[in-house]
Every structure is written in C-alpha cells, then in structure tokens.
Amino acid sequence: MADKIDARGLSCPQPVVLTQKAIKDGKTEFQVMVDSEVSKENVIRCIEKNKFTASVSVEGDTFTISVSK
C-alpha cells in the first residue's frame, strides 16, 4: 500500500509543499488527496517538474493523485 498524503482542506501552497517534501524524502510511489481543482493542478505540476508521473482519480469532492517514478 502506497503512502497517502491527505492535503484536503489545506490551502495553496500547502499541498505542493507536502508533495515536494515527500519527493525530497525519497518517496517514489505515493498518493496525494486534495479537494480543489487549484490544488490538483498545482500538485500535478510539482510532480511533473520532478519528472514523476501523475494519474488522477476522482471520487466526490476528492481528487486522488497517484505518483510514481
């Protein structure tokens, strides 16, 4: 089971900060949960900037972004 970062309810730029921290900590496979389009788009940019791959699934108000190398 991959690590999960629950960034729902956090305002920008916190979700990006948590994503960047996970990557800096050496995690190569994890999920980030956010609840706004803004956070989703920003987190995806951060992941792609770090040359990781992002895929998104939506359930209700939650976007789950799966990150892999």
For residue 3, the minimal CB distance to another protein (Å) is: 19
For residue 21, CA distances in Å to 43, 46, 68 come to 12, 11, 15
For residue 1, the minimal CB distance to another protein (Å) is: 25
Whether 56 and 31 have beta carbons less than 8 Å apart is answered as no
SS3 label, residue 16: helix
Q: Under rule CB under 8 A, which residues in 6-65 are in contact with another protein? A: 11-14, 16-17, 19-20, 36-38, 41-46, 49
Which positions touch another protein (CB under 8 A)?
Answer: 11-14, 16-17, 19-20, 36-38, 41-46, 49
